[in-house]
């Protein structure tokens, strides 16, 4: 009995650890970048809605509430698992929602003058997080490997999985704060903000889905990833984070006009 309980606990810990989205550094960096591009009026309205907090602090809220059973209904909002090569539109949808339907719902509620302040604040925190998740290619990955969570690899000899490499291992190993990482991002005129901000949730999803194939093909099972992998893929990681920040600002500026 005792052993069974221990095994169950261990399984729960493993499951809890595998479902984290971009780690805190990824989400905070994305929110920090978005702050560069927010309009003054958006900034003011957001601060008021969040009772003085900014989007950096609330960017990890959607992961923090996962340990509270009350919020179990939000678990599947962090990812979308359409089959490879299939459009989101034609894919079999999760009736409990997914990353794309969750983002659309957040935007709808935030734009609705009839929504309460409490509901808007909740949806804003979720939205800040989900635009980040949308840019992690494996959050648009395959159902059968849980977006790479069951693909075991090593990161500098330490056991991990492909999903976690892209959520946090690669970023954490830089040993930089979210503000420092944000400062390393390309800014105008070295990046065309209008060009990056083009499109919508579906076109950004399609981009991530295409990149999920690149990420899936980047490793062999049980491979030990180290400097070579970082050298090859960190530029893509940085680009995803930069794009997520720029697009988050676009979405928020559009809501808080």
Q: Which does 26 bind (CB under 5 to 8 A by kind): Zn ion, ligand ADE, none?
A: none
Closest CA to 104 of 256, 257, 251: 251
Q: Give yes or no for a contact between 98 and 79, defined as CB atoms under 8 angstroms apart.
A: yes
Q: Which does 141 bind (CB under 5 to 8 A by kind): ligand ADE, Zn ion, none?
A: ligand ADE
SS3 of 175-238: the string is CCCHHHHHHCCCCCCCCCHHHHHCCCHHHHHHHHHHHHHHHHCCCCCCCEECHHHHHHHHHHHH
| Shortest Cβ 101–ligand ADE spacing (Å) | 15
User: Could you say which of 28, 32, 78, 209 contacts Zn ion (CB under 5 A)?
Assistant: 78
| Shortest Cβ 135–ligand ADE spacing (Å) | 13
| Shortest Cβ 190–Zn ion spacing (Å) | 29
- Is the preceding peptide bond at 128 cis, omega within 30 degrees of 0? no
Beta-carbon neighbour count of residue 248 at 10 Å?
A: 28
Q: Does 77 sit near ligand ADE (CB under 6 A)? A: no
Q: Does 141 sit near ligand ADE (CB under 6 A)? A: yes
Contact region with ligand ADE (CB under 6 A), list: 43-51, 106-114, 146-154, 164-172? 146-154
Q: Give yes or no for a contact between 205 and 133, defined as CB atoms under 8 angstroms apart.
A: no
Q: Does 81 sit near ligand ADE (CB under 6 A)? A: yes
Provide the binding-site residues for ligand ADE, judged by CB under 6 A: 19, 79, 81, 138-139, 141, 143, 146-147, 149
């Amino acid at each position: 009995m005792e052993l069974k309980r221990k095994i169950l606990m261990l399984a729960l810990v493993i499951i809890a650890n595998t479902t984290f989205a971009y780690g805190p550094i990824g989400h905070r960096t994305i929110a920090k970048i978005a702050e560069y591009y927010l309009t003054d009026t958006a900034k003011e309205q957001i601060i008021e809605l969040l009772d003085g907090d900014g989007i950096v602090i609330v960017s990890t809220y959607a992961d923090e509430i996962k340990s509270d059973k009350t919020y179990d209904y939000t678990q599947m909002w962090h990812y979308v698992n359409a089959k490879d090569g299939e459009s989101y539109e034609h894919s079999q949808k999760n009736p409990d929602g997914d990353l794309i339907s969750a983002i659309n719902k957040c935007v709808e509620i935030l734009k609705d003058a009839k929504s309460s302040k409490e509901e808007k604040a909740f949806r804003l925190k979720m939205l800040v997080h989900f635009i980040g998740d949308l840019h992690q290619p494996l959050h648009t990955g395959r159902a059968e490997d849980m977006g790479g969570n069951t693909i075991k690899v090593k990161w500098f000899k330490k056991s991990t999985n492909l999903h976690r490499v892209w959520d946090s291992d690669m970023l954490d190993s830089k040993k930089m704060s979210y503000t420092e990482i944000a400062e390393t991002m390309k800014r105008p005129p070295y990046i065309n903000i209008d060009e990056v901000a083009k499109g919508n949730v579906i076109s950004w999803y399609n981009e991530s889905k295409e990149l999920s194939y690149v990420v899936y093909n980047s490793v062999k099972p049980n491979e030990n990833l180290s400097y070579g992998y970082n050298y090859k893929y960190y530029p893509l990681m940085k680009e995803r984070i930069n794009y997520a920040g720029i697009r988050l600002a676009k979405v928020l500026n559009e809501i808080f006009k």
